[in-house]
Structure 1
Amino acid sequence: MASPARVAPGRTLSVLQLRRRESRGVPAGWPESVHPVLQQVYAARGVLQPAQVEHRLARMLAPQLLGGMDQAVALLAEAIRDDWSILVAGDYDCDGATGTAVAVRGLRLLGAQRVDYAIPNRFTHGYGLSAAFVASLQPTPQLIVTVDNGVASVAGVAAAKARGIRVIVTDHHLPGEQLPDCDAMVNPNLAGDPFPSKMLAGVGVVFYLLLSLRAVLREQGAFTSAEPDLSSLLDLVALGTVADLVPLDFNNRVLVEAGLQRMRSGRACAGIGALVEVGKRSLATLCASDLGFAVGPRLNAAGRLEDMRLGVECLLTDDVVRARHCAAQLDAINRERRDLQASMVAEAEQMVAGLSDIDAIGVALFEPSWHAGVVGLVASKLKERLHRPVIAFAPASEDDVEHLRGSARSIPGFHVRDALAIIDARQPGLIERFGGHAMAAGLSLKAADYPRFAAAFDAVARELIEPERLQAVLHTDGELPPGAATLELARQLRRAGPWGQAFPEPLFDNLFDCAGWKVMGECHLRLQLRDPRDGAVHDAVMFNAYHGQPPPPRLRAAYELVINDWQGRESPRLLLRHIEAV
């Protein structure tokens, strides 16, 4: 067991601070039916007029604005016309799985007769279109279309081209210094790309490619009957977008809302319907958080522990019985993932247990027994606890302990992918491969180089992170006025999303007296909270909050106003996210 975390006098971990969001303007033009609280919630997110939440598909950004689209579409149109064998090369996370399903379903709808897919094995092939992955492809396809990967696959694309395979890269990850020599690339994050939104998930990029392809095929007179309805793919687009935690800017909210409406109306594909069912959610009332917490993790579990083909098959089948069978298998894998994650997180927390002081700003953790498919979840949990960037490492596989795979999670203000690029430039060869985003990244390195990397990561974090950034802050929308915590407001807040990354769920904070409480299960709390302003008592719950001590008699709570649906009867409830004694 190893960690660079060290006790250092005078450097104390920050406690969580509540900070209220400020309005970014004055709401205007809202109908009286929109609750004033919701208007203020919107204003704190820069939404001041009703038009800014009109999430109609007609307001989606035009596909033609994406760079590289003409070359990619021309090649795909040729492949469909000449009946090429097309292989969709996906990724082993939820974005990659949904993107793969969108590509396969969409290309078949548009007339491709020979479409298959392949997902790299995390432990055998590594990430993306690697040379090892290309070597494993049998039979040899005529065209590869990558989904949610490829922008960093210089060696993999070269290997494909050496076998005479044409390659189209669709990706959304940030490019490195060298781009692969592919036949076409669609990625809104390429330097100089004119697409106004850089926030598309991988599934969103390939959906846009299919929209452009349909337009060209239409011009070519390829459709002799009804034109294919690509809106049938929007449930998959919504799931992948939410699960990948990309910021929900206006364009992504349009895509997610359209997908959610499709699901609520009973038109979800069989696989999503089965995953919602096994996750004990209701399609009729589904919201973005259900996708993020109930559906996405079950799909992700297959790629973390086993083979993501099971997840893709679940999304591709139109057989309800087959979909339910796949979903049940995914649910079982997810339970195994949760148990493994709990054990690994406990070990990671033990590494820093009792440390009221911690010296490392950029924290690296490594345990030889850890599973490479779960280290990202460990990094995420420790990042929340320490409020500093964390990279968790595990051996690359059971058969390869000489190399490590790491997964990084960051805090606001520290671009972790750029930090890895700085280390790579300063110490060439230390990192074997890396890629990612501002808040999450992945990398590989030699096990013998771990101590040197841990020191380098900490050094870069010290350079780039201002001390005030190490203060954990929970932003709220302020106090709810007396009498405002009603079922009607809870319904409006639920319908008002889609809420998610960079467009957060409404969170309020109020002072309460604890009028009663009890333990649910082993570690959850159910409370009765009295508002001292008017004496109203509110039902509240807080998960994983009981550690043997009663809640304080008077407390300030940060909470979401949600709907408690018990035996078909709805009532408002406070879902507590943080409490502190007053």
Structure 2
Amino acid sequence: MAPAACLAGPAMSLQWRRRPLLGTPVGWSDAVHPVLRNVYAARGVLTPADAEHRLQRLLRPDGLGGLEAAVALLAEAIRTDAAIVVAGDYDCDGATGTALAVRGLRMLGARRVDYAIPNRFLHGYGLSAALVDTLQPAPQLIVTVDNGVASVEGVAAARARGIRVIVTDHHLPGERLPAADAIVNPNLPGDGFPSKHLAGVGVMFYLLLALRAQLFPQGESAGRAARETDPADRTPPGGRPDLSALLDLVALGTVADLVPLDFNNRVLVEAGLRRIRAGRACPGIGALLELSRREPALLSAADLGFAVAPRINAAGRLQDMRLGVACLLAEDAATARRHAERLDAINQERRALQASMVEEARVRVSADDLAGDAVGVALYERSWHAGVVGLVASQLKERLHRPVIAFAPVDGGETSELRGSGRSIAGFHLRDALALIDARQPGLIVRFGGHAMAAGLTLRREDFPRFAHAFDAVARERLPEEALHAVLHTDGELPPGAFGVDLARQLQAGGPWGQGFPEPLFDNVFDCRRWRLLGDRHWQLELHDPRDGVRYDAVLFNPQEAEPPPRLRAAYELVLDTWQGRERLRLRLRHIAPA
């Protein structure tokens, strides 16, 4: 299917496939619903132990390379009362990691801790030389969070000024590493840490655990000292600082950065969610939840990703991420509320700008067949905002099912450079593709970095046509035809009698669900008896199961079709709708097709 047709048409054609079980569930009690056991088995969780997300099962820091050198530098800085600057990033992972580092280092005894966040329009990404120049007076130590592994020039600029540098990052390294005093990154070649999916905030949390073990051993082994008590424990043993107080930030940053929720990340996220549900979130997260009308006691990982993270990210996209960090560092509810209201207003501006840019992209692709039969799609508009192009690429990627990179001028067109942000599909490693283009055509890409599924780069404006051709060529080489057809994976049909509040409750509590550990999604055929508009864009439906005639309430957000068919096949989540203290079963439809 041509991308232009897909983007302009009513809905993308999907191949529906059932997730296979990856083994036989064993050892589960009868209290665990058989449907949940099979949902787990389709995600490789075969025993109750695989679903025990207790902090005592968190991986120990021991295997994480670079910790020993980083801990020694931080311990010395605290002992000598050195000035420390935390250099973060302008996304939610970077903001939460920065707030975590500042709060954590202060808890561990550092008195002179400040932070610096690059302005994406002035300093570019990461610890740049331009950002280092703004640090006046110069600190004795810089600690990067969620960046730095590609900051060769920035680290060199800092070292030339006599500043020591610790890099903490999770991004894939390039061919050349910065000459930092210590680098902590589970994705460095040969690093022995078992989980390669820590977010930047997670890497920083592990560094704080290791530092605490060094500074507050209390007669324990470093390994045991690195293991947290339950977040609800307000009195950690031996008077050691309770780093579990920071797990709400770890959960938010991990979910926001869309890193795969492997077992270790699920432990971190679940611990942070427990803290928030107990009403013990930091004031900034509490204020953002209140503005987004989310009930802390019922919070899910999806709420963090869709309600809280975008409000923080908006600051880095349109203005200055220091606003987001200030909100997360606020010590009282009133201050947090003021910051949260500013972030909410910026996010509303971002949403309007994004909608306009996505519509322009849709028209471009449809009108001039820009995508045509392209496999790798690159788009550029002079009027687009560089802080929002990543969201445009994400939406187009979903509609086209092609890797997409969207570009905008740097500094509103004042320079000759373009900044691009890309999103990919399964089977196409975006950062590796950019590295291949860079190797084949040296100098075409000014700079780049990122992950398999998301990456950023800078180009000269006059080189955009050449890059667009090269990107499409690499995508054609590396993506087989079958990878260009979107696949919808579900957990199969729910049998009659399985629909119920008890199952919905167990599914809700069975996560945390998210990237790499997807929310349970079922598919069944229903008769649509009634439907109506919900607001201006959504549908509320009355569905009936043709097997037994049972009626279900359903909702579909942002449908592509003009109206639902009388009999439809629906992919849906089984959720609980809580209203005025009452629980109601509801089907949250994700996709529909005529049956």
Tell me how far apart the structure 2 counterparts of residues 183 and 526 of structure 1 sit (CA, whole Å): 58
Of residues 91-100 and 27-36 in structure 1, the stretch that sits farther from structure 2 once superposed is: 27-36
| Alignment match of 2:89 (pick from 88, 91, 100) | 91
Per-residue CA deviation, residues 200-248 of structure 1 (Å, 9 max, x unaligned), is: 0000000000000000112499999821100000000000000000000
Partner of 1:395: 409
Alignment of 1:192-211 (within 5 A): 192-211=190-209
- Counting only pairs closer than 5 Å after superposition, residues 300-379 of structure 1 correspond to structure 2 as 300-353=313-366, 358-379=372-393
Q: How far apart in 2 are the matches of 1:324 and 1:357? A: 44
TM-score by length of 1: 0.96
Counterpart-to-counterpart distance in 2, 1:140 and 1:344:
40
Cα distance in 2 for partners of 1:239, 1:430 equals 36
Shift of 1:546: 6.2
Q: Which residue in the other structure is 2:534 paired with? A: 520
> 1:311–1:357: structure 2 CA closer, same or farther, 3 Å change rule?
closer
Q: Which residue of 1 aligns with 2:487?
A: 473
Query: Structure 1 residue 135: deviation in Å?
Result: 1.1
Equivalent position of 1:503 in the other structure: 517
Counterpart position of 2:462: 448
Using the TM superposition, give the Cα deviation of residue 551 of structure 1 relative to its aligned residue in structure 2, in angstroms: 0.8
Aligned counterpart, 2:242: 229
How far apart are 1:353 and its partner, in Å? Answer: 2.0
Distance 1:7 1:375 in 2: 22
Residue 15 of structure 1: which of 10, 13, 38 is its match?
13
State the alpha-carbon separation in 1 of the partners of residues 276 and 182 from structure 2. Answer: 33
Partner of 1:161: 159
CA contact (8 A) 2:45 2:51 kept: yes
The letter for the 2-side match of 1:497 is G
Residue equivalent to 1:136:
134
For 1:400 and 1:563, how far apart are their aligned partners in 2? 51
Shift of 1:483: 1.9
In structure 1, how many angstroms separate the alpha carbons of the residues matched to 2:522 and 2:151? 45
Tell me how far apart the structure 2 counterparts of residues 215 and 14 of structure 1 sit (CA, whole Å). Answer: 52
AA at the equivalent of 1:516: R
CA shift, 1:358, in A, is: 2.3
Cα distance between partner residues in 1 of 2:5 and 2:458: 28
User: Is the 1:298–1:331 contact (alpha carbons within 8 Å) kept by the matching residues of 2?
Assistant: yes
Provide the residue aligned with 1:70 in structure 2.
68
- List per-residue Cα deviations over 1:92-149 (Å, max 9, x = no partner): 0000000000000000000001000010000000000011111111111110000000
How many angstroms does 1:401 deviate by?
3.9
TM-score, normalization by structure 2:
0.94
Listed one character per residue, the Cα deviations across residues 491-516 of structure 1 (whole Å, up to 9, x for unaligned) are 11111000000000000000000011
The percentage of aligned residue pairs carrying the same residue is: 71
**Which range moves more in the overlay, 221-230 or 502-511?**
221-230
How far has the Cα of 1:162 moved from its partner?
0.7
Residue 281 of structure 1 pairs with residue 300 of structure 2 = no
| Residues 100-179 of structure 1 mapped to structure 2, 5 A cutoff | 100-179=98-177
Residue identity opposite 2:339 in structure 1: C
CA contact 1:519–1:546 (8 Å) conserved in 2: no
Supply the distance in 1 between the matched residues of 2:430 and 2:43 (Cα, whole angstroms). Answer: 25
Kindly state the Cα deviation for residue 410 of structure 1 after the two structures are TM-superposed: 0.1
Shift of 1:14: 6.7
In 2 relative to 1, CA 110–277 (structure 1 residues): closer, same or farther, beyond 3 Å? same
Could you say if the C-alpha distance between residues 487 and 5 of structure 1 is closer, same or farther in structure 2, counting changes exceeding 3 Å?
closer
Match of 1:45 in 2: 43
How many residues align? The count is 574
Provide the secondary structure at the position in 1 that maps to 2:512.
coil
Does structure 1 retain, via aligned residues, the 8 Å contact 2:382–2:413?
no
Q: Distance in 2 between matches of 1:277 and 1:7?
A: 41
Shift of 1:567: 2.1
Matched position secondary structure for 1:112: coil
Displacement of 1:572: 0.7
What is the aligned partner in structure 1 of residue 500 from structure 2?
A: 486
